[in-house]
Amino acid sequence: MSRITLSRFLIEQQRKAGTLPPELRLLIETVGRACKAISYSVNKGALAGILGEAGTGNIQGEAQKKLDVIANDFLLDANEWGGSLAAMASEEMELPYHIPGEYPKGEYLLMFDPLDGSSNIDVNISVGTIFSILRCPEGIDHPTQEAFLQPGTKQVAAGYTVYGPQTMLVLTFGSGVHGFTLDREHGSFVLTHSDMQVPETTQEFAINMSNMRHWEAPVKRYVDEMLAGKTGPLGKDYNMRWVASMVAEVHRIITRGGIFMYPKDARDPDKAGKLRIMYEGNPMAFIIEQAGGAATNGYQRIMEIQPKGLHERVAVFLGSKEEVERITAYHQQ
């Protein structure tokens, strides 16, 4: 039986369901090609002289790695000329990136975190790329950041690529979640994981325990109950995992269950959280929900939040539905 490549999968979805417009299909394929280029660079590492600091900072005030800059450029260069996009926005850039005048414009907006977990690059631990696609509001020819400020429910597609022992692209456009593994010999993503589902219950959680003293009471209560194990109120033992790469954490959860938590804390009470809703919260929430899980900020569904800024932050609790509902209930109490 012939293998199903990403291109073939998208074409078949376009033909069968009629819910995947040709322009969106081409855009997803282009993002996939950019992710392949990023994967090759990540794989070369020190051989290509691309490890270490870039000597620059991004709009978040964070020091950029060389690969942060390289990955950002790959995604801009691959997508600016294809005719599918009205504009792009990146976690690494303050303002939207407008399509150069010599290229045609399309009806979609692309947002991305070009290299999530980049602090892991130099120690050879999994990193990834996250992307989200929206429709550009009608009648807007030169999108400003306001055009991007749509709730996550408006996403038409989202995905991530994890650069680990294998490079995998995990994708949704609103009809389930599917995983594709990069075949380096043939240079194509191949469907290897159909209809991925997050297990409803779990005994695994991911959180940075070093921040425990800064957490709000509902988070402390929940983690204490998990640490209490079988003799505690939850009646089971939990394992803790922490990779410091959201892509790696979410990929583990979508594969075998669990809950990922990045709560707000007392160090900066004016910020709603650490992660960015546009580049991380919304796309990952879309993927997790399509796989049968849940994603909230502790009080409401992440995808229903109306963003107010291109780099707005959000608290994140996502993964197995039973656990997310529990921590959300603790916040609401």
pLDDT tens digit sequence for 153-170:
999 999 999 999 999 999
274 is in an annotated binding site: yes
Find the CATH number of the domain harbouring 126.
3.30.540.10
Q: Are 127 and 275 found together in one domain?
A: no
Is residue 118 part of an annotated ligand binding site? yes
116 is in an annotated binding site: yes
Structure pTM? Answer: 0.95
For residue 117, say whether it is annotated as part of any ligand binding site. yes
119 is in an annotated binding site: yes
10-14, 47-51, 176-180: segment of lowest average pLDDT? 47-51
208 belongs to an annotated ligand binding site: yes
- 115 marked among binding-site residues: yes
Q: Write down the pLDDT at residue 57.
A: 58
Q: Are 287 and 195 in contact (CB under 8 A)?
A: no
Residue 289: what pLDDT?
Answer: 98
Domain containing 231 equals 204-332
> In this structure, are 13 and 156 located in the same domain?
yes
Between residues 291 and 117, the one the model is more confident about: 291
State whether 34 and 167 are in the same domain: yes
The pLDDT tens digits for 235-277 are 999 999 999 999 999 999 999 999 999 999 988 888 899 999 9
The pLDDT mean for the chain works out to 93
Residues 104 and 241 in one domain: no
- 218 with 288, same domain? yes
Strand partners, 159: 131, 171
Residue 113 annotated in ligand binding: yes
Statement: residue 152 has pLDDT above 80? yes
| pLDDT score of 59 | 61
Both tokens assigned to 34: 């950019």
Question: Cα 45 to chain center, whole Å?
Answer: 23
184 lies in some domain: yes
End-to-end CA distance of the chain: 54
The CATH number of the domain holding residue 289 is 3.40.190.80
